[in-house]
Every structure is written in structure tokens, then in C-alpha cells.
Amino acid sequence: MIDDHTTSPGPLEVPDPETAPGPTSVDLPRVEAAVRELLDAIGEDAERNGLLDTPARVARMYAEVCGGLHEDPRRHLRTTFDADHDEMIMVRDIAFHSLCEHHLVPFFGRAHVAYIPNEEGRITGLSKLARLTLGYARRPQVQERLTTQIAEGIEEVLAPRGVLVVVEAEHLCMAMRGVRSPGATTVTSAVRGLFRTDVAARAEAMGLIGCASAQP
């Protein structure tokens, strides 16, 4: 699935995370109370020995896996340098996990991120592309939005000539419940700029990722 979008006219000024307003923590006692209520509601005994510490564990777990809610992942792209390189840059196989916002169970997989720097040569560190991806993944998500947010984050901050993002993931909401189809993989893509208009550039990127088809 290819998601079309108009290219941003220039780089975006991303707020400094040290001064940007917004929530910075999770209300752990409130999460603990909600978990106790959930255990009681499904017929468990939240006071039995094996479950006594579960609410606190779950609260800490949610604070960790949803930590991306309290940051602007685009901040990782603020550091750029000139490498005298004007061709494609790709980071493949960025492993991630996220929470399906419909059922609050995990989906996990790999993201492949590519961009073509603009004429000014705005290049960011390779690890920053992984940090951007993980920042958007560490929150309640849907895969389609995650794919789009990664592409738009790069587009808004670096203003490249082209961006291509492919995300492959398995969803436990499909494996554990409903259709119960473990092993099924969902693939989404977001294609911007030259990767959308230049068939050869798109084919090269898809070939490096290992996708069978480079057609939109």
C-alpha cells in the first residue's frame, strides 16, 4: 500500500525536548488501580499471591513500552552533517515493537527506511533513523500510521528529495484472537518525492529491501 503526500517545502524546526511542553511521565498509581480492576472484572483475584505485584509490574511495563508518547521523535533528526553524498541512504531491518491501539496487544516486525538528501546535503546519523522509528513505535499505534509518521518525520525535518518507508509486522491481535492466524505478515509503505516519481529510484530501493514488486 503506497501512501501519497505532498512534499514539505522545507525543513521543520523541531522543539527542543528539554523545553517543549507536554506530559513527561505515566501516572503509575492510576495504571495499577486499573489493572487491579481489570483482574477483578475478568474473574481473577487480584489479591492472590501470584498477582499481588502484577499491577505494579504492568504499570512499569506500560511506562516503558509507551515511552514514545512523551517525546517528539523528530528531535533525533535535528543533528545533521555534510557528507558530500546526494544519493540514496537506507537503513534496513530496524526491529521494533508497538501496541495495537485497538486491542493493546503487541505487533512487532522490521522497518526499512530510505531517503535521498536534498541539494543542501542535509544528512542525519544512521542511528537517528532507528531512533525516529522506535519513538513512533513506542505508543499505542496502527501500522499504517506508524509508516506514515516515519516518512513524514524525515520529510518535515530533513526536507529530502525523496523518502521511502516499508514496514513489515506480525500482529498478535490477529494471531491470538479473532481470525487466529499466527505468522501472517502485514506490509505497509509510504513513498514520497523522487521515489514516487522516479521508477528507477523506487525499483532500486525496493530491490535493496527485497520486495518483489516496485510498482505503486
pLDDT at 11 over 50: no
| Beta bridge partners of residue 165, listed in sequence order | 113, 190
Examine the residue annotation and report whether 173 is marked as an active-site residue of this protein: yes
The one catalytic residue in 100, 112, 141, 168 is 100
Output the pLDDT for position 147.
98
Q: How confident is the model at residue 135 (pLDDT cuts 50, 70, 90)?
A: very high
Kind plus residue range of the DSSP H or E element containing 39 = helix 28-41
Q: What is the DSSP letter of 191?
A: E
Q: How confident is the model at residue 211 (pLDDT cuts 50, 70, 90)?
A: low
Examine the residue annotation and report whether 211 is marked as an active-site residue of this protein: no
Output the pLDDT for position 58.
97
pLDDT average, residue stretch 15-40 = 76
Q: Which CATH code, of 1.20.140.10, 1.20.1440.60, 3.10.129.10, 3.30.1130.10, is assigned to 2-15+80-209?
A: 3.30.1130.10
Examine the residue annotation and report whether 102 is marked as an active-site residue of this protein: yes
> In 10 A of CB 139, how many CB atoms?
20
Examine the residue annotation and report whether 152 is marked as an active-site residue of this protein: no
Residue 130 and residue 7: Cα distance in Å, rounded?
Answer: 22
Report the length, in residues, of the chain. Answer: 216
CB 92 within 8 A of CB 109: no
Q: Which has more confidence, 8 or 27?
A: 27
The one catalytic residue in 71, 149, 171, 204 is 171
The one catalytic residue in 37, 64, 85, 102 is 102
The one catalytic residue in 37, 47, 64, 101 is 101
Output the pLDDT for position 176.
95
Of 209, 179, 207, 205, which Cα lies nearest the Cα of 194? 205
Q: How confident is the model at residue 102 (pLDDT cuts 50, 70, 90)?
A: very high
155-192 per-position pLDDT tens digit: 999 999 999 999 999 999 999 999 999 999 999 999 99
| Residue whose C-alpha cell reads 505468522 in the numeric block | 183
Q: Which three cell numbers stand for residue 106?
A: 503487541
The one catalytic residue in 32, 70, 156, 173 is 173
pLDDT at 21 over 80: no
pLDDT at 16 over 90: no
Could you give the count of Cα atoms lying within 13 Å of 195 in the half-sphere of its Cβ? 35
Examine the residue annotation and report whether 66 is marked as an active-site residue of this protein: no
The one catalytic residue in 143, 149, 152, 168 is 143
pLDDT average, residue stretch 181-206 = 96
62-98 per-position pLDDT tens digit: 999 999 999 999 999 999 988 888 899 999 999 999 9
Name the pTM for this structure.
Answer: 0.85
Matching CATH topology for 2-15+80-209 and 28-65?
no
Residue 91 and residue 11: Cα distance in Å, rounded?
Answer: 21
Q: At the top level of CATH, which class does the domain 28-65 belong to? A: mainly alpha
Domain positions in the chain are 2-15+80-209, 28-65
pLDDT average, residue stretch 105-130 = 95
Residue 137 and residue 139: Cα distance in Å, rounded?
Answer: 6
